[in-house]
Chain A
Amino acid sequence: MTSSPLSIFRLVRRLAFGTACLFVLAAASLRADSVIVSSADDPYNGEADSTQSGTISKITRDELTLKDKAGLDVAIAANRVIETHFNDEPVNLQVARSAIDAAQYEDALKKLADIPKGEAESAPEYVKQDIDFYWAQASGLLALSGHPEMTLRKAGARLNDFVRNNANSWHYYEANRLLGRILTAMEDPANAKSFYENLQKAPWPDVKVEGSIALANLLLNEGNVDDAEKAYNEVLAAADAPGIGRQKAYARIGLAKIASFRKEKDASKALFQEVIDGSDPDDVDLQAALYNAMGEAAERAGDPKAAIVAFLHVDLLYSTASAEHISALRHLAKLWKQQLRDDRAAEALAILRERYKLNN
């Protein structure tokens, strides 16, 4: 499954926030709203996010309008926004955002639940939207990690409520993306499809194509290999634009999977290799998806050793992509058992248990 390019920024920030979020209780109440925008324009710090302050005067699903201190309106495309901070928003909302960045979804939910009811109800509309979105997002991500109590259905319902009631939130596409993943995990492709189609309606080419990839993945999951192939090829034929190259890599992964289903081992291998050669080794989400796909293809081809090597890439190099990591660990536990290496199977299960609180 593809994810937003912003998730890379999120990952980088997650590293920094991992510890800090625990102490964010003392976070500030801002006298002006602020928007953190992805940027690479600071000569002293290299690549860094930038913060723009002022008053958020308007939000749509496509852009935020910020009135700066000079009274000028600054429009910021929603796909560049990493997060917003509103004047006098509840402190627990800030803590929850950081907790989600650090993949501590239960903590995020707890913090959001601790926001006094009165304060949440009297909060401005945009703040309410944020609370509702992070509540739904944390639930969704927790459910996808296989949490025993947060079911996919429950999380899906929360996200569905958000999408239905907040069509003009800047979180709209992210919510659709996540809801699509939830429904796919629930094996409900029909409903998932409608949410991925919403991605295709976004004004940005990379998000549109991301929707196409997600839809193609659905087709593949359904066994509609030919249509999926066609969809992936359409993505490959798309005109180049920022972010499109990454989506094309996802398309190649899809095509490689198809080749492996068709037992075209060489073709599959060649496509995987193309992605390896052409992609950024530091793009954790893409690499994790790639090696998991390679592992599954090797399993299908009856090559458990190659499968282990592929899944170990995710475990050893790309473990910050938590959903993919969980999947890789589950595969590894099974494969190690088959190889009569119970000690290593136990290692994989121990990571699942200790890091993700999952029993298998």
Chain B
Amino acid sequence: MFFLRRFPIFRFFLAGVLLSAAAAFVSAAEDWEAFYDALMNRGYYDVAVTYLESFRDNPSIPDDLAPELDNYLGETALELMRASATKAERQLYGEQAKEYLDRYLSRNAGGEHAYKANSALADLYTEEGNDEQARLQKGLSETERKKIEQTVQDDYAKALDYARTAVAQAKEVAQRMKSSDATSRSPEAQIVYADYLGLRIKENDLLMKLAETYPEGSAERKDGLEAARAAFDALYEKYSKYPGGFKARLLETKAALALGDQTAAAEYLDELLSLPMNKSLYAIKTETILLYGRMVVEKGDPADLFRLMIAFYDWKYANDLPPVFYITAEGLQIHLLAGQAVLKLDKAKTSDPKKYAEAAKTVFNDQKPAVLKAVTKLISKPDKQAYEWFDFVYRQKSPFSAEAEKLLADPIFAGRGNPLSEEEPATFEEAVERLNRAWTNFTQASADAGNALTAEASAKTAARKNETARAVDRAMRAAFRTAGRYSAEPGQLDKLRLQWATLFFMTGRWTDAEVLGDFLLYRRGGSAIAPKAAEISLLAAKSAFREGKKEGFEDDALDELSRDVQSRAEYIVQKWGGDLTGDNLLPVVREALIVRMDTAVTAGDIEKAKELLGAIPPSSAAYADAAIQFGQSLWSAYIELLNQKNEEPDSVDDAALQEVLESSRRSLEAGLEKKLELTSGGRGDDLPTVNAALSLAQIDLLSGRAEEAREWLLHPNVGPLTLVERRFAGVADEAAEPEEAAPEGEESGENAETGESETAESQTAESETADSAAQDLTLPPSPLSDPFQLSALTLGLRVLVATQDFDHAEKVMNCLELFVNTGVGSEERLTLVYLQLGKQLQEQIQTLRQNGETETLRAITRGFEGFLDRISARTQGNTYLTLRWVADTYFNFGLGLKPAAAGAAASAEGGEAPAELSAERDDAQNAADYFKKAGKTYQTILQRIEAEPQWATSPNAKIATTLRMSESLRELGRYGSAVKVLVPILETNETNLELQTGAALILQEWGRKKRSVYPRAIQGAVPKKGGRNLVWGWNRLIALLSRNIDKSPQFKEKFYDAVVNKMECRLAWLAGIADPAEKVKQARGGETELLKLHKLHPDLGGAAYKKKLEFYLKAFREAAGEPSDEGFPKPQQQPQEEESAS
């Protein structure tokens, strides 16, 4: 609704219209509002004016439009004026707008919306004043200048008058609404209150503008600015929690600057800089940074410049500010200021190193290490960064391009060529230099992409990787073009070819990589780079084969791809392999051997792979690598098969799956042992070996060999957990120091004087000290990737708990938190780790239950329960995430032990009820205990959030925890309480999909106990004013999701989950219908709904959903008295191309 966004008056107005429409029957009439909205969205403002004018003196004018016609026309003409290109048009439409608005006011002087018309008139005169002001930039005679200045003053004075009238009128309306209980909290009142604040800001902004039209030093100027400043200050004090209040503070800063009060301005800007970067504050933050930059860059004080860089980093890199802000006038100027700031800092570093260091210490002392690291990175390459930002501004072709060009002319950028760096390089050397720069960017981006742990980070880094790859590609072409003209050395070109092949390989362009690699392999076979080229060609062929298999290529095509791999591998072994027994095999030969096995495993021919491994003498150096790689290939194959089995349980044989896992374990173990033997106990920098140790530990844990897993994880030389913990050793001790240094008495949690327990506040303060100490620490660099380290810590935690080593487990848990706090990760990562851990545990419990391994199950749950109790009982150090994890794990235990629901869904999945009922009762009791513990912990979390909102670092914490709490109540069968818990949070978050789904699931579960609730699960519950339900139910969820089904797999999954749930409700509901005719009717309705769904979406969300829905289809038919084994209509075979029958 374009118009509603632009003009809040119409939101207010329409709210009234909608209310009245709901109250009375409205006869069919032209949908003027839809048409008007469509015209405004298309920018046809002139047609909108014509259209609205057609209603003047027209008896058929819609009732809701009639009283507001001139108001609409005035706003539309104002928009037309803004969109007009010529001065004449702007004047014409400006006059038209005035006419409409004046007429409206003359007829509705005391009306509810009069303040809006006055506000529009204020805007109109402000626009006119701004237009005149712009003319002052041009060269003018003194007389002309004075005349224009007078016009500007007059325009702003008129605008101010209108704004003041609008303020008074809005105040009156607001007071009227506030005085009545019926309206004081209504949505219309909220709009009026917000409008009132906006108008007061507008009024004082105009007062400031007007004051600035008077000469420097004049009393009018000073008085006006001071009055505006005082008014902004009062507004800020009163509305300091709202964006409007911050806007007032920003304008107060401008007024202070105009009055020459730099000290106060700096103070205000400091406050504004500390505001979070959230959506409602983007514009304010942007303007703040600009003002701050303008104030400090010229002065050049290092501390201020550091602060500016922190703010700039926060603005440009650390948040999700829409890029459109970068190219606004403010955004472009910020880039220029940031560039100047880094250059000035660089100079300060050499000219006054002491001051520079002190400034850095002061400013960065209270910053998070992640910020320190990132800003240091920006500052450490001043010329590179400044060049990048100036170049960015230069390319936007804005009024600031000239300034950017001037800055780029600084000799410091001499080596970086023309700002328009896409131009042809002048020499081969220049081309290579440019290529090297592009390559550095690409490798960095590629490493970042490899380290990304979350989907969002992954998408961002992948985009950056692609962008830098394209730059390398372009630079490479330019290099070859110039090489042709300037006769570069042939060896040099081959090196470039190798680099290009590497780029192709790293970006998944397999065929290109193969072609270029082959050229060097076959045509430059004797050169030093040939083995590396061969390796690229081989790996690219292997990747093409894997990809083809994954994408379901035909057998013939796969055979061809496989032959490509084999032929290269054989050629390489033949060329460089010798008898394979030597200890100095080239890496490419080892790779070729591994590739041959790997391809065999990928093709499912494990015997062939074993045969190939057998061909390598176990005493040779190559054997260890080959066995490890073979084991890793089998491990990957196992995971792939497991996924396949999860999707289609009958597609993979359990024994075969176990055999693959066992073979993998044996091979990894043999390879690792040989490796340790050859390297005198192993080396921590041998990443494939460390990786193999991690895989082996995972396999051991999976096979119930927790002790063996522990041994590999904690191996003194190659143990993944050992290596990660070693990295944390010094840091973890430092992090612990503040607690150790705490005075006696306080540490015990008791107040020394009163003997009373510590208050929550003091505990929090202390834990905050510890947290902030941890945040000040930086981890030493590690060759291990972030995802690897997270895997090691996660697996470590599981293994240590499984082996009841709780002290060590707690240390590992602290390391996990530290890992996040030291800035390499994010809380999102930690949340992900905890979620993953919880899910793995739940799956493990379910598997053990299904397999009847009761003892192991008890040992695991008991072990973990002890650990969780211990963590939740800690008085210090528990973060929101830790407690959430504890609560979630209790919850997952509950789910894992919960007896399978006997009902439609279970039957649909082919599940069976557990055989021993007594065991089931025990499990049910245990599950209930876990749900109770989970519920209590969620309650503790919510109480803490209520007391200290900042404690929960995630903005979504309250919603997510409330949802989980309601789920715990649901699982305990306290359905009414579960819904009640959700209602207050739904009132403010009605469109939250998770909450609505959670609420519908509660009603559905309730329906299992009380049949009459089923229709509520479908149709929704908790009616609001106006009749619609606050809890939507499956119907509305399905309707909403169906519109978004193609937007993401998640929506699709949610959609089908909702459909399956609805079907369960329908089926269960009709089972209890006594009237046979009604029952048949309902059953047919269910069948029809499913057939329609199938017609619209023939895939029905995939095999698993289809199977479930087919169950319901048959059940409906049976209930309708027409049992049938037929499922959904099957697709016909596509006929061959033949001549038309028609």
Residues of A in contact with B (beta carbons under 8 Å apart) = 16-17, 19-20, 23-31, 42-45, 48-51, 69, 90-92, 112-121, 131-132, 135, 273, 276-281, 305-306, 308-309, 312-313, 316-317, 344
Interface residues of B in 978-1006 (CB under 8 A from A): none
Return chain B residues, CB-CB under 8 Å to A69.
1122
B670 contacts the other chain (CB 8 A):
no
Contact with A281, one of B29, B50, B1097 (Cβ below 8 angstroms):
B29
On whether the beta carbons of A26 and B1098 are closer than 8 Å, the reply is yes
On whether the beta carbons of A42 and B1088 are closer than 8 Å, the reply is yes
Return chain B residues, CB-CB under 8 Å to A316.
35, 38-39, 42
On whether the beta carbons of A44 and B47 are closer than 8 Å, the reply is no
Return chain B residues, CB-CB under 8 Å to A26.
1098-1099, 1131
B761 contacts the other chain (CB 8 A):
no
Q: Which secondary structure characterizes the binding site on chain A?
A: helix
On whether the beta carbons of A31 and B1142 are closer than 8 Å, the reply is no
* Interface pairs (14), CB distance under 8 Å: A31-B1129, A42-B1085, A51-B1091, A91-B1133, A112-B1140, A116-B1138, A117-B1138, A117-B1139, A117-B1141, A276-B60, A277-B27, A277-B29, A280-B28, A316-B39
Cα of A119 to Cα of B1018 in the assembled complex, Å: 45
- CB contact under 8 A between A44 and B1089, given known A24-B1098, A25-B1131: yes
Return chain A residues, CB-CB under 8 Å to B1137.
114
- CB contact under 8 A between A312 and B1089, given known A113-B1140, A120-B1142: no
Return chain B residues, CB-CB under 8 Å to A312.
35, 39, 44, 47
On whether the beta carbons of B1095 and A279 are closer than 8 Å, the reply is no
On whether the beta carbons of B1132 and A27 are closer than 8 Å, the reply is yes
On whether the beta carbons of A28 and B1128 are closer than 8 Å, the reply is yes
On whether the beta carbons of B1134 and A91 are closer than 8 Å, the reply is yes
Having A29-B1129, A277-B27, A308-B50, one finds 17 other A-B pairs with CB under 8 Å, namely: A20-B1097, A26-B1099, A28-B1094, A28-B1131, A29-B1130, A31-B1129, A43-B1085, A91-B1132, A112-B1140, A115-B1135, A118-B1138, A120-B1141, A135-B1142, A280-B28, A305-B47, A309-B47, A317-B35
CB distance from A343 to the nearest CB of B (A): 10
- CB contact under 8 A between A309 and B1089, given known A112-B1140, A317-B34: no
Question: Which of B35, B1019, B1066 gathers the greatest number of chain A CB atoms within 10 Å?
Answer: B35
Q: Mark B1082-1096, 1 if CB is under 8 A from A, else 0.
A: 000100110110111
On whether the beta carbons of A281 and B1099 are closer than 8 Å, the reply is no
Measured CB to CB, the nearest residue on chain A to B27 is A277
Cα of A29 to Cα of B1046 in the assembled complex, Å: 26
CB distance from B757 to the nearest CB of A (A): 57
Return chain B residues, CB-CB under 8 Å to A308.
47, 50
Question: Which of A91, A121, A276, A316 gathers the greatest number of chain B CB atoms within 10 Å?
Answer: A316
Cα of A50 to Cα of B1134 in the assembled complex, Å: 28
On whether the beta carbons of A42 and B1089 are closer than 8 Å, the reply is yes
On whether the beta carbons of B1098 and A276 are closer than 8 Å, the reply is no
Cα of A43 to Cα of B1014 in the assembled complex, Å: 14
On whether the beta carbons of A281 and B1138 are closer than 8 Å, the reply is no
CB distance from B277 to the nearest CB of A (A): 38
Return chain A residues, CB-CB under 8 Å to B1141.
115-121, 131
On whether the beta carbons of A309 and B1132 are closer than 8 Å, the reply is no
Measured CB to CB, the nearest residue on chain A to B1065 is A44
Q: Mark B37-58, 1 if CB is under 8 A from A, else 0.
A: 0110010100100110010000
Cα of A354 to Cα of B825 in the assembled complex, Å: 48
- CB contact under 8 A between A90 and B1096, given known A45-B1089, A317-B35: no
Cα of A281 to Cα of B1138 in the assembled complex, Å: 46
Question: Which of A27, A112, A118 gathers the greatest number of chain B CB atoms within 10 Å?
Answer: A27
Return chain A residues, CB-CB under 8 Å to B1091.
51
Return chain B residues, CB-CB under 8 Å to A112.
1140, 1142
Measured CB to CB, the nearest residue on chain B to A281 is B31
Give how many B residues have a beta carbon under 8 Å from the other chain's beta carbons.
Answer: 49
B1035 contacts the other chain (CB 8 A):
yes
Cα of A135 to Cα of B1137 in the assembled complex, Å: 17
Cα of A135 to Cα of B51 in the assembled complex, Å: 43
CB distance from B63 to the nearest CB of A (A): 12
On whether the beta carbons of B1046 and A277 are closer than 8 Å, the reply is no
Return chain B residues, CB-CB under 8 Å to A44.
1018-1019, 1035, 1066, 1085, 1089
Interface residues of B in 1097-1142 (CB under 8 A from A): 1097-1099, 1122, 1126, 1128-1142
On whether the beta carbons of A114 and B1129 are closer than 8 Å, the reply is no
Q: Mark B700-737, 1 if CB is under 8 A from A, else 0.
A: 00000000000000000000000000000000000000
Return chain A residues, CB-CB under 8 Å to B1132.
27-29, 90-91
B30 contacts the other chain (CB 8 A):
yes
On whether the beta carbons of A27 and B1129 are closer than 8 Å, the reply is yes
Contact with B1136, one of A113, A116, A279, A317 (Cβ below 8 angstroms):
A116
Contact with A305, one of B30, B50, B1135 (Cβ below 8 angstroms):
B50
Interface residues of B in 1-37 (CB under 8 A from A): 27-31, 34-35
Contact with B1130, one of A28, A117, A273 (Cβ below 8 angstroms):
A28
CB distance from A345 to the nearest CB of B (A): 13
Return chain B residues, CB-CB under 8 Å to A42.
1085, 1088-1089
Contact with B1096, one of A20, A29, A117, A119 (Cβ below 8 angstroms):
A20
- CB contact under 8 A between A309 and B1142, given known A25-B1131, A280-B28: no
Cα of A43 to Cα of B1097 in the assembled complex, Å: 22
- CB contact under 8 A between A30 and B47, given known A115-B1135, A280-B28: no
CB distance from B749 to the nearest CB of A (A): 58
Return chain A residues, CB-CB under 8 Å to B1097.
20
CB distance from B29 to the nearest CB of A (A): 6
Return chain B residues, CB-CB under 8 Å to A116.
1135-1136, 1138, 1141
CB distance from A114 to the nearest CB of B (A): 7
CB distance from A190 to the nearest CB of B (A): 28
Cα of A220 to Cα of B809 in the assembled complex, Å: 90
Return chain B residues, CB-CB under 8 Å to A28.
1094, 1098, 1128-1132
Measured CB to CB, the nearest residue on chain A to B1131 is A26
Q: Mark B54-68, 1 if CB is under 8 A from A, else 0.
A: 100000100000000
Cα of A113 to Cα of B1139 in the assembled complex, Å: 7
CB distance from A74 to the nearest CB of B (A): 13
Return chain A residues, CB-CB under 8 Å to B1018.
44
Return chain A residues, CB-CB under 8 Å to B28.
277-281
CB distance from B924 to the nearest CB of A (A): 33
Return chain A residues, CB-CB under 8 Å to B1128.
28
CB distance from A122 to the nearest CB of B (A): 10
- The 8 tightest CB contacts between A and B, nearest first, are A28-B1129, A120-B1141, A26-B1131, A91-B1132, A316-B38, A116-B1138, A113-B1140, A117-B1141
Cα of A97 to Cα of B1070 in the assembled complex, Å: 34
Return chain B residues, CB-CB under 8 Å to A317.
31, 34-35, 38
On whether the beta carbons of B1089 and A27 are closer than 8 Å, the reply is no
- CB contact under 8 A between A132 and B1096, given known A29-B1130, A90-B1132, A316-B38: no
Return chain A residues, CB-CB under 8 Å to B29.
276-277, 281
Return chain B residues, CB-CB under 8 Å to A132.
1142
Cα of A190 to Cα of B542 in the assembled complex, Å: 72
Cα of A100 to Cα of B919 in the assembled complex, Å: 60
Measured CB to CB, the nearest residue on chain B to A136 is B1142
Return chain A residues, CB-CB under 8 Å to B34.
317
Cα of A118 to Cα of B1128 in the assembled complex, Å: 27
Question: Which of B1046, B1089, B1131 gathers the greatest number of chain A CB atoms within 10 Å?
Answer: B1131
Return chain A residues, CB-CB under 8 Å to B1135.
90-92, 114-116, 119
CB distance from B263 to the nearest CB of A (A): 53
Cα of A28 to Cα of B1092 in the assembled complex, Å: 12
Cα of A338 to Cα of B709 in the assembled complex, Å: 82
Return chain A residues, CB-CB under 8 Å to B1098.
20, 23-24, 26-28
Measured CB to CB, the nearest residue on chain A to B43 is A344
CB distance from B86 to the nearest CB of A (A): 14
Cα of A281 to Cα of B26 in the assembled complex, Å: 12
Question: Which of B1066, B1128, B1131, B1132 gathers the greatest number of chain A CB atoms within 10 Å?
Answer: B1132
